Amino acid sequence: MTIASINPTTNKTEKVFKEMTQEEVQAIIEQVHTAWNSWKHTTLAEKKSFMLNAGKILRDDKTKYARIMTIEMGKPIKQAEGEIEKCALVCEYYAEHAASILKEEIVQTDASKSYVRFDPLGIILAIMPWNFPFWQVFRFAAPALMAGNVGILKHASNVPQCALAIEEVFKKAGFPDHTFRTLLISSKHIDAVIADPRVKAVTLTGSDHAGRAVGACAGKQIKKSVLELGGSDPFIVLDDFNLDATVDAAVYARHMNNGQSCIASKRFIVVEQVADRFLVMFKQKASALKMGDPLDPSVGLGPLAREDLAIQLDQQVKNALAHGATLLLGGKRKGAFYEPTILTNIKKENPAYAEEFFGPVALVFVVRDAEEAIHVANDTPFGLGASIWTRDTKKAEELAQQIEAGCVFVNGFVKSDPRLPFGGVKTSGYGRELSHYGMKEFVNIKTVWIK
């Protein structure tokens, strides 16, 4: 079997790779396991030096890596460059903060001395998606490697060049051989890798369907897993905020990365006092987005990552319309491209009410007040992120307590930050990435008691 890198803008096959055999996979796992036996004893100072090198390489070769990303999955080039910068930032953050995060915690007990230490587990398998093909990997790899673990990456099959480029970054940065490796394999081989006794834990970013499968497999093997899954984030607009600024943020929050983000705002919940004006402005500004070749810096909306994804999105829109939704804008597909689309009048019995639309499709719900907005926001299987737009920040904090999500942003669209924990609840997954919480997901939290 082969793994192809196909440019979604042109539908041209850029490169084809042969899938690794079981023997090759086993050899890589053994090499990575051997590397861990020395890496776990490497000093934090040495790890810091390597990780800072990785950040520098990313910044120095930003244009090269961004171009690979854009050609392989269609991200607008300026956003791709921003993603590489963010990867450098997470490398620098954990290089600088790992020592304080992993510092032994002294606890006063009946012992002469008792403390908690944080030891590495070993090989961590990362199963990563195509939508942020560098960032998703680095936000796992930077804390995992600094904690003394080693990594194996099973990337999405449509971004093999990104996967190999990431492995290249760690090699160039001076990390010991086999500290981080890529497996070019299809999804059907994942269970066998998770089951390998040398693999100690697994992290997945992907759909809730993939999360159920990986979580079940890891549970069967009694191995730790962290799952960051889908989202249908609410964007709540109250009646007292600057509407022009709110709509600008709404358009960006829905269409960033061509609408293909777990934390993209997907459900726009607007109080009725400003709903008509919001819809007029939202339609006007969304329709003004320039759609085209994502290598053109002036383009704000490129293709979906694969044509089949655009076909699937189109079917979702048609199904929503067949169940009574109203089409306010867009609704047309051309190849892997999909127009900015706005749907309204979505009733609870409409399948669209509970679905995640992974592309430039916005669902708008009009509500009476803040209380109904919270009800609609929580009336979903997902719980990744949410945003609230209001001048009354005290009220927003009260509302934030009621929202069932891993993060709530007030007067800002949802984003991830190395300093803050990231993850979801309900079918959006469990566990956390980033901050000190994320770093401690893949360590042995060990009690030491001495008398």
Which residues are catalytically annotated? 228, 262
Q: Can you tell me the distance from the alpha carbon of 124 to that of 369, in angstroms, rounded to the nearest whole number?
A: 46
**Position 29, amino acid:** I
Q: Is the dihedral of CA 349, 354, 360, 366 positive or negative?
A: positive
Q: Can you tell me the distance from the alpha carbon of 88 to that of 438, in angstroms, rounded to the nearest whole number?
A: 17
Rounded to the nearest angstrom, the gap between the alpha carbon of residue 223 and the centroid of all alpha carbons in its chain is 22
Q: How many CB atoms lie within 10 A of CB 23?
A: 8
Tell me the β-bridge partners of 119: 444
Tokens of 179: 């500290």
CB of 389 closer than 8 Å to CB of 404: no
**Inter-axis angle of helices 160-172 and 135-146, to 10 degrees?**
30
> Rounded to the nearest 5 degrees, what angle is found at the Cα of 270, between the Cα atoms of 266 and 275?
120
Rounded to the nearest angstrom, the gap between the alpha carbon of residue 339 and the centroid of all alpha carbons in its chain is 23
Tokens of 260: 């293909």
DSSP assignments along 56-103, one per residue: HHHHHTHHHHHHHHHHHH---HHHHHHHHHHHHHHHHHHHHHHHHHSS
CB of 359 closer than 8 Å to CB of 330: no
CB of 207 closer than 8 Å to CB of 230: yes
The 3-state DSSP class for residue 208 equals: helix
- Environment class of 180 (CB within 10 Å of its CB; exposed 0-12, middle 13-18, buried 19+): buried
- Using alpha carbons, select from 372, 408, 365 the residue that is nearest to residue 389: 408
- Using alpha carbons, select from 389, 423, 383 the residue that is nearest to residue 403: 383
